[in-house]
Amino acid sequence: MTTLMRNYVNGEWITTGRTFPTLNPVDGSHVADVSEADQDTVDRAVKAARAAMDGAWGKLTAAERSALLHKVADGIEARFDEFLEAEVADTGHSYPHARAIDIPRGAANFRIFADLIKAYPNEAYEMAAPEGGAVLNYSHRRPLGVVAVIAPWDLPLLLLSWKVAPAMAAGNAVIAKPSEETPATATLLAEVMAEAGVPPGAFNLIHGFGPNSAGEFLTTHPGIDGITFTGESHTGTIIMKAAAERVKPVSFELGGKNPGIVFADCDFDAAVDGIAKAAFSNGGQICMCTERVYVERPIFDKFVAALKRKAEALVPGRPADPGVDMPPMISAEHRDKVLSYYRLAVGEGATVVTGGGVPQFGDERDEGFFVQPTIWTGLGDTARICREEIFGPCCHVAPFDSEDEVIARANDTHYGLCASIWTQNLARGHRVAHAVQAGLVWVNSWYLRDLRTPFGGVKMSGIGREGGMHSLNFYSEPSNICVKF
């Protein structure tokens, strides 16, 4: 029997008149059908969220919300295997990856923000009144209200909970829309919310697409008080235009064309390993992945050869197969997009160091959405594959001759999400990190995160910061209260 994933509104499961399928990216098989939210469903979700803010959810203290979010984390952990199977079926991630990162981090996000909200700092200042007496100014933070949470497909549970947890910790009611490609763990999360005793309307889940579907209905709804979105930059501009009509606050983590800068004095093996991970992890389907690599000329040829060996050692396959570390692309559409850039690179005159096509298995995996990890050299910085985000397992590697040159080239982009710098000269590392225009810069590492620190991009890579108190700052608004006595 085919599974039907439904919308969750005001504590009830809702089926609409339209459904769409989800496919397993490993072999293209049918996983489930999903009920697509219509305008009426979104209206009901907004009304339910508003009622929750005025009712049981809005009356909870921070400590009470914290306790509920810990119960949500407990629920994820209690149903770990169900979440694991759902995430793997939707994404094609290997079991070790999903078991070590996707599901544990989903639960951890709720615990992190459940604890942080109890320690949220406020300001207080005393002053003298001009006519005598004293004045106390202190800050008080209120939730935004009803928050639309739109999450991507690359790390579905992790990135959804990264937004839902702080939004709810701050006291907001949430309407979550996962990617249409990866609805399963979001649906399980709604079940866990109900089991944990979260009041009806505090968490709502709608399924669907963007234009003329749930995404557009949600972001243009007059009852939404704030929008948080992770995804492609073009979609972000559309959402921002919708939000501008009612001056709604937005938090965007958008695309990137992230540079990796490798100096000749680097720890060579560590740099090769780090760039390989940055280019090919999760099939290149992470916003922080590196698609532009700049290598100082004295080690350029040696580095390209070593990176080629790393790429060719990657193993594509089924999630349960031993040693698999190259998942498929999320969909046939995305695979075709990545392959179009592979063809474009050749058309632009790139040298294909390795890859550039589709692996052949001789079994049902040939119906899946795999592509080969790919490395190019030989193109100038104006080539399209050096400027446009591909979001696949690929990178272009180019030589450079000076620090000033590589900084200018790294910054010559519309994006500014992340960068990595590889050098054993820490003075240079600090200097270049300060000069690179990016929201997050690693020196001699990649993907190393303290979740309390600010995360977000500049330029077309986003607006605002997420992480620790930075997330809570977005999901709440400060008021100053001035008391004369």
In this predicted model, what pLDDT tens digit does every residue of 250-274 receive, in sequence order?
999 999 999 999 999 999 999 999 9
Catalytic residues: 253, 287
Rg (CA), the chain: 24
Closest CA to 324 of 351, 290, 361, 296: 361
Average pLDDT score over the chain: 97
- 177 and 240: one domain? yes
- CA 405, 296, 456 angle in degrees (round to 5)? 65
- 7 and 141: one domain? yes
Percentage of the chain beyond pLDDT 90 is 98
SS3 191: helix
DSSP H helix total and E strand total for the chain: 15, 21
- 243 and 303: one domain? no
SS3 402: coil
Task: Answer whether 366's CB lies under 8 Å from 317's CB.
Answer: no
How much is the pLDDT for 166?
98
Cβ within 8 Å of residue 67, ≥6 positions away: 114
Q: Name the DSSP letter for residue 258.
A: E
pLDDT tens for residues 288-326? 999 999 999 999 999 999 999 999 999 999 999 999 999
Question: Does 475 score more than 90 pLDDT?
Answer: yes
Residue 23 token pair: 């496919």
Domain count along the chain? 2
- 160 and 40: one domain? yes
Mean pLDDT for 205-210 is 97
The CATH number of the domain holding residue 192 is 3.40.605.10
Question: Does 434 score more than 60 pLDDT?
Answer: yes
Q: Compute the Cα dihedral for 404, 410, 414, 417 and give only its sign.
A: negative
Which segments of 363-416 does DSSP mark as H helices, in order? 403-411
- 244 and 305: one domain? no
Question: Does 406 score more than 90 pLDDT?
Answer: yes
Question: Does 1 score more than 60 pLDDT?
Answer: no
Q: Strand 226-230 and strand 351-354: pairing? A: unpaired
CB neighbourhood size of 484 (10 A):
11
- 268 and 325: one domain? yes
- 50 and 189: one domain? yes
Question: Does 2 score more than 70 pLDDT?
Answer: no
Residue 96 token pair: 């070790």
CB neighbourhood size of 395 (10 A):
30
- 187 and 94: one domain? yes
Q: Name the DSSP letter for residue 211.
A: T
Read off the pTM: 0.96
Confidence grade of residue 173 (pLDDT, cut at 50, 70, 90): very high
- 220 and 279: one domain? no
Closest CA to 151 of 104, 196, 90: 90
- 14 and 159: one domain? yes
- 159 and 296: one domain? no
Percentage of the chain beyond pLDDT 70 is 100
Closest CA to 9 of 48, 40, 35, 36: 48
List beta partners, residue 422.
Answer: 262
SS3 122: coil
How much is the pLDDT for 308?
98
Mean pLDDT for 212-227 is 97
Question: Does 222 score more than 50 pLDDT?
Answer: yes
SS3 381: coil
Confidence grade of residue 170 (pLDDT, cut at 50, 70, 90): very high
- Classify residue 9 as left (phi > 0), alpha (psi -120 to 50) or beta: beta
- 242 and 266: one domain? no
**What range does the domain containing 387 cover?**
258-452
Residue recorded with tokens 């020196």: 443
What ranges make up the beta strands (E) of 144-191? 146-150, 173-177
Confidence grade of residue 69 (pLDDT, cut at 50, 70, 90): very high
Confidence grade of residue 196 (pLDDT, cut at 50, 70, 90): very high
Question: Does 52 score more than 50 pLDDT?
Answer: yes
